């Protein structure tokens, strides 16, 4: 199972996250005109692990998880649930950065979270 599948599984099976977004967890882009709140996620970068024998079968994967909502407080609540869920197996995401954003065109609040994941 690749990292993206692991993220979808971890977030979708977390009771708190699923209680907020149901099944609205999307890779890369969200469909238009969906109910809110929702989550989108994507791989930002991968860094293979190398040693003196060459490239190993492990890598650090940086992923971005975006928590979308109609209200700022809902986006923040969802982001807190995602932070907790991403600390569980098999992901163990280390939060690197969190940023609040507003999409004026879609009138949506977003919390952007970057995680490092050992894979």
The CATH topology of domain 3-118 is STM4215-like (3.30.2000)
The reported pLDDT for the residue numbered 89 is 76
CB atoms within 10 A of CB 101: 12
Tell me if residue 30 falls in helix, strand or coil. coil
The reported pLDDT for the residue numbered 71 is 98
Give residue limits of the domains in the chain: 3-118
Q: How far apart are CA 30 and CA 9, in angstroms?
A: 17
The reported pLDDT for the residue numbered 56 is 65
What are the pLDDT digits (tens) for 41-53? Answer: 999 998 877 666 6
Q: Is the peptide bond before 4 cis (omega within 30 degrees of 0)?
A: no
The reported pLDDT for the residue numbered 1 is 73
Chain mean pLDDT for the chain: 92
Residue numbers in the chain where pLDDT is lower than 50: none
């Amino acid at each position: 199972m690749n990292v993206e599948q692991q993220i979808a599984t971890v977030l979708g099976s977390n009771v708190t996250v699923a209680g907020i977004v149901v099944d609205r967890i999307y890779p890369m882009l969200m469909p238009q005109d969906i109910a809110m709140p929702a989550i989108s996620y994507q791989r930002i970068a991968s860094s293979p692990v190398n040693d003196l024998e060459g490239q190993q079968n492990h890598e650090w994967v940086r992923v971005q998880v975006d928590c979308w909502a109609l209200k700022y407080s809902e986006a923040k609540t969802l982001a807190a649930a995602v932070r907790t869920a991403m600390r569980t197996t098999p992901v163990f995401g280390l939060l690197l950065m969190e940023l609040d954003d507003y999409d004026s065109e879609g009138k949506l609040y977003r919390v952007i979270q970057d995680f490092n994941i050992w894979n």
